[in-house]
Structure 1
Amino acid sequence: MSTAEGRADEDFRLGAPPPLIESGLLDYVLPRFSLKTGIRVEVVALDAGGDILLAPDAEGPRVFDGRQAKWRMQINTPSHEGAARFADWLTSEIGQRTVTSYEVEGAAPFDLPKADEREVAEVSFDGDADLGHDLSVAHCARCHAVSEATRMNAMASTPSFAVLRAMADWDRRFQTFYILNPHPAFTQVEDVTEPFPINRPSPIAPMEITIDDLQAILAYVSGVEPADLGAPIEHQ
């Protein structure tokens, strides 16, 4: 596959309502993302089936605030690599700085939620949490501390489930873990991921799960007590 074809596969649709489109923010932000990644973004109406939605009532984390609304990001296609890369970029320091640097007549109409004002969305999953625990121990405990009982078997450099659970976007990280390095090298999700190339087999015992297994893991992780990471660092 050529580089151009690979990038075309990552192109995605972003759903947004008229007020956000007319604000000019997307015309400012999206070309900068595309220039950095080569991924093209098509802006569509909210009801047109976007891979990602930006809207005040979207089901996801609050990513920036406007004068009239607080804007949230909803990932409708978590398995889409281009959409996942945009979500990571928009919530990164560079993406946030791009949003806040947009100006209209010398004023910045969009700002980021202050750390002590960030809203925590209630997330629930319908999977079997007990099964999710067993699957996490079987597949994830070789690297992560899934629970206190598996702490001594985990890699010190790998974040525990409790630390990951404390992150604002923990649910997105778990829903898309199989496309986040280093997981693609050894993870197979039935009917979602492509088989390993014959000339590049998994370097370790592969992790093979189904979508139902992933839902069970999410149900388990949603009940994990988040680690206390302390107050956010404030920069002067």
Structure 2
Amino acid sequence: MALLWPGGSLAEERHFRLSVPTALLDSGLMDYLLPRFSLKTGVRIEIVPDGTEAEMTLGPGEGRAVFQGEDTLWRMRLTGDHPGAARFADWLTSDVGQRTVTSYEIAGHAPFSLPEITEKVVASPVFDGDATEGKRVSLLHCGRCHVVAPENRMGTIGSTPSFAVLRTLPDWGARFQSFYALKPHPAFTQITGITSPFPANLPSPIVPIEVTPEELEAILAYVAGIDPADLGAPIQVQ
């Protein structure tokens, strides 16, 4: 019965308050957007003055950038988990919502556009080792399992990722720096002065890999110069 009653939860879900500054209201964009959204979804939006308690805020402050215009980057911020507000947020950031924003015109001029996204450039770590020596050591030891370079693309373990694939991981530097502590490496890897000797009752199951800290630094320098594999899509890492 609560769902059928006008004051029940369903009615509340289909109505929420949106706080909008006067400058954005005066632009006419809200008068253009909101009827189109409400007609499609049945969700009614009540515009309240800037600073008034609301389920969503559009303004120049914090939040997700959704469009720009009137010399301002306008951001959207949800102040709760209201389903109607969440639905409007999804619509506004969808292709349909974005096209609706950019199709709004005043005297043949479109005053609003999508926000310009500036990609953050992540600097690759720099290592001081000898990359040539790093390649030699990698082929000698790591090449048993991994494809290290074109020279050993045959004869490795097929289920083991190549260095080029590992290079696509965002934390590849940390992984290579601590590879000897990541399974299965501890069972057969020794880093001079860093790792403990194998227990007497748990010897290495294969010919051990023995690497000095200097050789490890050389491996890191070599891997830093490898081009990441082209996987066609972002790699999913657990």
TM value normalised by structure 1: 0.49
Greater helix fraction, Structure 1 or Structure 2: 1
Larger Rg computed on CA atoms: 2
TM value normalised by structure 2: 0.49
